[in-house]
Chain A
Amino acid sequence: MAGSALRRLMAEYKQLTLDPPEGIVAGPVSEDNFFEWEALIAGPEGTCFEGGVFPARLVFPPDYPLSPPKMKFTCDMFHPNIFADGRVCISILHAPGDDPLGYELSAERWSPVQSVEKILLSVVSMLAEPNDESGANVDAAIMWRERREEFNSIARRLVRKTLGLAT
């Protein structure tokens, strides 16, 4: 089974290298282990995360792509859909039925025809448009909804931090 997972991950890596989506770089941490990837995600333009480069880890299960990977930001993040420890909480990372936060019916879910690229693109849209209905970080969700300026300034500080600039 791990054979087909490996084949698929290698194909996805190749595809992402040949034709990378804008603002996303991703690949295995080391050539010996295709089941752990690092990704760099550029904060979407026109949002409070613009200019930042956010690193994350993806860990793939042995039965990938039947089951989805897990994803975790490895930098400081403050966002309604990211847990305090960096874990990303969006619907495409879950099969239907695995419902930590009761996603909407229409939300995009994991299935074997999804891909790393689809996940990372969803994460970019999540950065641009947080879903404050499913709060992985309740403080961030409340602040995003009620004190947007304060939220934006925290985000801008995180952006500077990812670039190694003084905050």
Chain B
Amino acid sequence: MESFKQNDGNRDELIIQQQRDIEKEISDSTPLVGELLPLTCLWTEYNGDDVFTAKIQDLAKKYKFIRRTRPDGNCFFRAFAYSYMEYLISNNSAYKEFQKLAEDSKDKLVELGFPSFTLEDFHETFMEVIRRVSPDNPGGYNKVQNELHKILNEQGYSDYVVVYLRLITSGKLQEEAEFYQNFIEGDFTIEEFRHQEVEPMFKESDHIHIIALCAALGAGVRVEYLDRGEGCIVKAHDFPEGTEPTIYLIYRPGHYDILYPN
């Protein structure tokens, strides 16, 4: 009988509701993707703390600006989408290649077992966003960049882009399950990990998400780790190792924002 848990479901739902309210408060006060800010704005957050002051100084040698994302558990995917598309706007041949890859990705995901019916909406929205940020659109880089900023701050579009990137990530994990199984801690199978930690919204990302997404899209990400660790140098890591990065992110425990190199 021990396994029975006397449970008042209503109380649990109240707790979940409260959690939702807190999340909503955070989200209402932070844009999905913020404006460009000077990197040194980070100083004010750490209030003269020696370790962080030195590390931010180090970081400022390499990066000029930061762009914050909403801390809602989707920050890695949203930061990735924004930063990568910003790169694609200024690189026509990479854009074309990516557009093709994105177009073909739906059939690939269906082959991997995703339900075509529910996938369709996300894929269509994803393709629409890609079309709207084409470097060929009239008005040049600035106009298209404005459009990108606008779209990724529109909850509906922005969240659908996040969903689709999550599905691409999950698809890659499935496709190379044997390889990725090595990165998974605990008793999770790849299948469980995909359904629990990758596909649902608001679940935070780990290295394995980054590696799989980069591999699926052929993109390179450099992550700068700003934490309380020893030394006054900020450690960086490239995904996949040895690749020239096109996306630069700063990681502070639990959260990713976008960086802009000098």
Contacts and interface: CB of A to CB of B under 8 A. Distances in A.
Contacts of B195: 96, 108-109, 111
Contacts of A4: 121, 125, 156, 160
Interface stretch (B9-17, B51-59, B209-217): B9-17
Interface string B114-126: 1101110110010
A1 B156 contact: yes
B192 A105 contact: yes
A87 B118 contact: no
Contacts of B115: 113, 115
A163 interface: no
Interface of B: 1, 3-7, 9, 12-13, 16, 114-115, 117-119, 121-122, 125, 155-156, 159-160, 163, 167, 187-189, 192, 195-197, 199-203
A63 B162 CA distance: 14
Given A63-B159, A100-B16, A113 B9 contact: no
B7 A112 contact: no
Contacts of A97: 200, 202-203
A89 B5 CA distance: 14
Contacts of A75: none
B5 A95 contact: no
A15 B51 CA distance: 58
Contact of A138 (B4, B118, B122, B200): B4
Contacts of B160: 4
Contacts of A111: 195, 199-201
Nearest to A141: B4
Given A111-B199, A113-B119, 20 more contacts: A1-B156, A4-B156, A8-B118, A8-B121, A11-B121, A63-B159, A87-B9, A95-B201, A96-B203, A97-B202, A100-B13, A106-B192, A109-B195, A111-B201, A112-B118, A112-B199, A113-B114, A133-B3, A134-B5, A142-B4
Interface of A: 1, 3-4, 7-8, 11, 15, 63, 65-67, 83, 87, 89, 95-98, 100-102, 105-106, 108-115, 133-136, 138, 141-142
Contacts of A102: 5
Nearest to A142: B4
A38 B125 CA distance: 29
B5 A135 contact: yes
Contacts of A136: 7, 9
Contacts of B1: 142
Contacts of A63: 159
B7 A135 contact: yes
Contacts of A105: 187-188, 192, 196
Contact of B122 (A89, A95, A112, A134): A112
Contacts of B16: 98, 100
A141 B115 CA distance: 33
Given A83-B9, A135-B4, A109 B125 contact: no
Contact of A114 (B5, B12, B118, B187): B118
